[in-house]
Amino acid sequence: MSDATLSTTSFVAARPPRVTTEAFWVRAIMIGITLVFLSVFVLLPLATVFVEALRGGISAYFSALAERETFLAIELTLLVAATSVPANLVFGLAASWAIAKFEFRGKSFLITLIDLPFSVSPVTSGLIYVILFGAQGYFGHFLKSAGVQIIFAVPGIVLATMFVTFPFVARELIPIMQEQGKRDEEAALSLGASGLRTFFRVTLPNVKWALLYGVLLCNARAMGEFGAVSVVSGHIRGHTNTMPLQVEILYNDYNYAGAFAVASLLALLALITLGLKSLLEWRFAGELAANRRH
């Protein structure tokens, strides 16, 4: 009766009846508006990055990337992603297990709390760690006497990145695991599997695409975060600059070619993320929460 099962692909096959579609000229205009709007606001910036990066030629492009400070910025970005993404991955798995497989009071409140970082401005996300760990912060004295440096050093950057990418994996896993319910796990347990075995052999394979999707988004954000990291980093060239920060520094040094070269790497990362994302959505739409929420 309802068209809920009608996927977009079957729309292609059947020509929509004339009464439920607009006149040709209306369609043409709307498509035109969309194309212009998206071209100007989305495609043009993307093209600009690559054109400006390659403006000086290919060899200038690669030598800009091989500059010591830039190279170290790339390494730091990878390091930050390699620490914050797995941490949030483990958290996402734990949280979604607790939320999806059990019934307890306060569950929706917990989910709201997990979503909190989404509603916090990036600058605030960095500020909160300065308030805690900066020299004037609550733990400032303690850290100074222990000789531990968090703000103006890599640990601060990792923490700020963990904060902004906190919900990404959990948000993808929770709905899908809730949808899948506990039947499979209960079946496995009743057949004698241990909890851990159940988790790795039953649960994980069921959510693998949603997990990958979440990790993908988490990683893209972790590598691209600017505001939060800018507040905690100290901008020490070659030491506490991630790629986005390095873009800003090169830009302010009047080194536009270098700034866009680094930006192009990040844009490439974004394109790869988009590509993999589309691939996952296309092939495993049913197993992702993606088409239900953003």
Among positions 61, 64, 70, 95, the unique one binding other proteins when judged by CB under 8 A:
95
Q: How far apart are CA 171 and CA 154, in angstroms?
A: 27
Q: Contact with other proteins (CB under 8 A): which of 141, 142, 181, 208? A: 208
What is the phi/psi pair of residue 153, to 5°? -145, 175
Residue 177 interacting with other proteins (CB under 8 A) = no
CA Rg, the chain, in Å?
23
Are 165 and 174 in contact by the 8 Å Cβ rule? The answer is no
Distance separating alpha carbons of residues 188 and 186, to the nearest angstrom: 5
Only segment of 58-66, 173-181, 238-246 that touches other proteins (CB under 8 A): 238-246
Q: Which of 25, 41, 59, 192 binds other proteins (CB under 8 A)?
A: 41
Tokens of 176: 């899908």
Q: How many residues bind other proteins (CB under 8 A)?
A: 138
Q: Per CB under 8 A, which region of 56-64, 173-181, 234-242 contacts other proteins?
A: 234-242
Q: Does residue number 206 form part of the binding site for other proteins (CB under 8 A)?
A: no
Pair 267, 220: CB distance under 8 Å? no
Q: Which of residues 1-30 bind other proteins (CB under 8 A)?
A: 1-4, 6-8, 11-12, 16-17, 19-23, 26-27, 30
286 binds other proteins (CB under 8 A): no
**Span from 38-46, 57-65, 171-179 in contact with other proteins (CB under 8 A):** 38-46
- CB closer to other proteins out of 275 and 286: 275
Distance CA 170, CA 268 (A): 26
Single out the residue of 75, 69, 81 nearest to residue 160, CA to CA: 81
Q: Does position 66 bind other proteins by CB under 8 A?
A: no
Contact 108, 101 (CB under 8 A): no
Task: Extract the runs of DSSP E, i.e. beta strands, from 205-263.
Answer: none
Helix (H/G/I), strand (E/B), else coil: 83? helix
Site for other proteins in 100-119 (CB under 8 A): 101-106, 110, 112-117, 119
For the segment 73-92, give every residue that binds other proteins (CB under 8 A). Answer: 75, 78-79, 81-82, 86, 91
- In the complex, minimum distance from the CB of residue 60 to other proteins, in angstroms, rounded to a whole number: 17
Q: Do 80 and 161 form a contact (C-beta atoms < 8 A)?
A: yes
Of residues 112-151, those binding other proteins (CB under 8 A): 112-117, 119-124, 127-132, 134-138, 144, 149, 151
Shortest Å distance, C-beta 278 to other proteins: 4
- Which amino acid, residue 44? L
3 state SS of 260: helix
Task: Using the structure block, give the residue that is written with the tokens 């992603």.
Answer: 81
Q: Which of 152, 258, 261, 280 binds other proteins (CB under 8 A)?
A: 152
